[in-house]
Structures are given as C-alpha cells and as structure tokens.
Amino acid sequence: MKFKAVKIDVNSGDNFILLNYSDAKKLDVQIGERIQVIIKGKKAVGIIRITTQMVKEGYIGINSRLLNELGVDFENDITVEAKKIEINSSFDYIRKKFKGFDLNENEILQIIRDISEGKTSDLETLMFIFSSYYNGLNLEETINVSKAMAETGNKINITGKVVDKHSIGGVPGNKVSLLIVPIIANSELYIPKTSSKAITSPSGTADTMSVIANVELEPSELISIVNKTHGCIAWTGKLGISPADDKIIQLERPLRIDPEGLMIASVLSKKIAMGIKYMVLDIPYGKGTKVEDYNYGIQLAQKFKDVGDALNIRITSAITYGSQPVGHTVGPALEAKEALEGLMNPSKAANSLLNKSASIAGLLFENTGLVEKGLGYDSAITLIFSGKAYRKFKEIIEAQGGNPNVKPEDLPIGQYTYDVLADKEGYVTFLDNSIINYIARMLGAPYDKGAGIYLFKKENYKVAKDEPIMRLYSNSESKIDATLKYISYNKPYMISGMLLESYP
C-alpha cells in the first residue's frame, strides 16, 4: 500500500510507525508487528503503533530514528510504500546460530541480505550479534559473512593498484591514517581510506578527519577525488558499501562489543567493496588493548590472512606497540590538530606518531613492490620530512571540501578544560588505555568533536608533584565534573618513585 508520510518528531529507542486503525486493518497488521517502508528506494523496518486520531487514514507516521536510518531528506506528503513483513527464514537461521550450530553460505547470505534490506528487527539483529559473540564464527562462516556483506552493497571501482591500511583499534589517539594516506598518495598507489565511526573508541579515523574536511562522500565523489589525488579519508555511511555491517555497528556501538568474526568480516567486506588488493593490518599489542596476549595477536593475524587469501586480498599484519596512546592527544579535534602539526612540522612531532605512520606506510610500499624489502620506512619518513606528505594532505583536504590552508589552531577544541595534577614526584610507569578511552568518551567524544584529552606525560616521563599530567577538554562543564569524580576512583596512570617499597 502507498501512503503520504508524516514525520513524528520523536527519537525513541526503536523505529516505530503510526498507522490509522482503518489502514492497519487493510494491511492486516496488529500493534507490535513489523512493516517495511520504502522511501526513494531506501528500505527500513518499523514497529507498528495504531491510532485513531494522530494520523489520518491514507497517511503514515514515521519517527525521527527511522527517518535517520533511511537517510532521506524528509518532504511533507512524500509518498511511502509500506509492506507487511511475514516471519522470514533468516530468523530461523539466526536461531540456529544462537543454538550453537554452524551456518552455510546460503543461510548467511539470507541473514545479511535481510539485515541490509531492513527486514530484520533490532532484536533479531542483536540476537545474531550475540550468537556470533558467544558461539563464534568459524573460518568458512567468516569468509561467507564477508562476501555476503560486500555482495549486498555497492561496489566502488577504481582503476589502478588499490591499497589500504586498517587498525583493529583499542589504542587511544591512533590518528596515523591522517599521515599514512598522504604518504601513500604520493606514489603510483591509490588509497581510498574508508572508516566507520567509532564503536568503542573516542575517535575513529572518520571522526577525526571530519573536523578538517567533509567525510560524507557519495561513491561518484570518492572515485573522482581518488582519481585526482590518489587518496581520500571517508566515512562508509554514504557510500552504500556493506550496508548490513553499518546496521550491525549501530547496535554494537552502545554495547561496546565487537565479536571477532563479525569484526573481521566488517573490515574485509568493505575492502572487497572498495577493490582493495593489498592491505596492512595494524594489530596494537599491549596492556589495555584488544590484544593483551602476543600469541593471540599472531593468531588474529593468521585468521585475517586466511580470510584475505580466500577473498584475494594480500594482508600483512603489523603487530605494533600499543601499551599507551599514540602521540599525546585523544579525541577527534585534538587528534586532527596533532596529525596536522605532525605533517607541518615533523621535527616537533611525537616519535610514536611518526614511527608508526612511516612503518605501516613502508610495509605497503614494500608489499606492492614499489620499493625493496627493508627500504619502505626510509621512503615513507622522507616523504614526511620533505613536506610532500603535507602538500598531498592539503590536496586531499581541498578535494574533500575543506580549507587546504587550515592551521592547527583553527580547529575547534573543547571550551572547558581542567588539568589533572600529579599527587607526588616520580616517573609515569603505566597508562591505562581502557580508562583513557573511557574518560575521553565521558567527556563527550566522539560526538562532541572538541572533547578529549591531552597527555603531557607518558610512560617513563619524569613528573614533579602538582605538575600537570593530562588536560581534559569538553564543551560541557558537567561532563568534566563527572569525569573528575570517576578519575578520583579510577586513575588512568601510575606514578612511581625510584624507591618502590621498604622491608621490613
């Protein structure tokens, strides 16, 4: 049936649709049942609410959350098609996985197709996420989820040797993509770097880049930018690649869970869609990261390689030092500022930022045969110190609609600040990544782009009593107050003197 749409300006916890009682009878739907709505070719599912007065016969009320998911610009009296959704076979397959059984290729394709087309409810998708989390996905299932996610979305075709890097995350302040992309783009390689917005961290690559330039690119815009500059940094949301994964991530984000099999499929489905043939995977290792056990890091690298081989993507993993943040900043605007400063004036940049960026870019140069083994790092670091990486970054910023002459001081950081002071003299012997991530999110990141942390002191730094260790930034005073209360019970750092203990 076709209806005229009415916007219900309520952003509730679920997608709901209001139907007049008479229209509900015609559609043969009851309260709590699901219908699919189609607007301008975009599809989503809503839960039925029935009214006799709020919506007239022939009209359909769609709430704000559902309109946001559809990603369409609302117009009054726009025509909407609505279809009753019968119980579909994918729910039976989700239940099968929930019970601990393996799924075959066709069953997985049906689940992913229904998620991408909006035919599954949030609860059904959550059931699939938790089934994957607790029961795991085997190698064959992970390969099939990766392929299904790619097949049910757009494909981006870029002519040339297309490469990428990806980090599994977990380390605060990992803004290295903003350096790696312009390094690689200075060569014959093409690097269309795409990123989801942060799931468990205070800032994903797309969140950080969005402070400087537009990351919401249509497929044609991305292709044009990459053909011109050899690189870009874009959010996956508008590209239409792996749409099922975007819906899964939306549900994972508030839960802060990232099941291993779905994480691998999420990464590689988007690489398939982007035509990536070579990839370096950054696996940060250390206390407070996702990989605290070195052997698990090697196992994860092997799993990525096995899935990549099946998908014709050559993957090299870089096991990187991850026991403390990369550089000195955590949070979108602060990280963008530090990355920009690093490209403009590398002699004053943090060694961790420069070394990690050049090491990963160097591996891409070597793996594609652009330079001989062992020469990649030198080639990459030279592009930074010569200024070529900065000039290329300016090109990319301009191509993505930003100001190429933007200065670090132009970036909007939080208006409220507070310095956390050392309570004694000594050396910083430990920084807790997980607490740093958590307090940066408490301050408002990544939604508040200016929120975050500046670390004056990192591991092995000497500190005097009452000297600042970190500065908190937010655009909300109450968030800073709440964060300080949390820090008083959960310190994100440890200070030790030379004398650790006396006995007896």
> Which residues are the active-site residues?
258
Query: How many Cβ atoms from other residues are within 10 Å of residue 167's Cβ?
Result: 26
CA-to-CA separations, 32 to 10, 85, 111, 451, in angstroms, rounded: 17, 12, 22, 39
Sheet holding 163-167, edge to edge: 163-167, 278-285, 314-321
Q: Does residue 147 sit in helix, strand or coil?
A: helix
Q: What is the DSSP pairing of strand 278-285 with strand 163-167?
A: parallel
Tell me, what DSSP letter sits at residue 50? Answer: E
What Rg value do the Cα atoms of the chain yield, rounded?
24
Question: Can you tell me the distance from the alpha carbon of 299 to that of 75, in angstroms, rounded to the nearest whole number?
Answer: 51
Q: Do residues 274 and 162 make contact, with C-beta atoms less than 8 angstroms apart?
A: yes
Which helix (DSSP H) or strand (DSSP E) does residue 126 occupy? helix 122-135
Half-sphere exposure of 109 (CA within 13 A, CB side): 6
Comparing CA positions, the residue from 164, 128, 116 lying closest to residue 259 is: 128
In Å, what is the CA distance from 158 to each residue of 52, 180, 230, 389?
Answer: 53, 19, 10, 22
Q: Mapping DSSP to helix (H, G, I), strand (E, B) and coil, where does residue 487 land? A: helix
What is the distance between the alpha carbons of residues 309 and 318, in angstroms, rounded to a whole number? 17
- Beta bridge pairs of residue 5: 60
Give 190's Cβ-side CA count (13 Å radius).
20
Q: Is the peptide bond before 504 cis (omega within 30 degrees of 0)?
A: yes
Instruction: Give me the residue label for tokens 């290792």.
Output: 285
Q: Is 38 exposed, middle or buried (0-12, 13-18, 19+ CB in 10 A)?
A: middle
Q: Extract the runs of DSSP E, i.e. beta strands, from 259-379.
A: 278-285, 314-321, 329-330
Dist CA 412 CA 434 (whole Å): 25
Residue pair 326/158 in contact (Cβ under 8 Å)? The answer is: no
Spatial distance between the Cα atoms of 129 and 454, rounded to a whole number of angstroms: 35
d(Cα 280, Cα 164) in Å, to the nearest integer? 7
SS3 state of residue 471:
strand
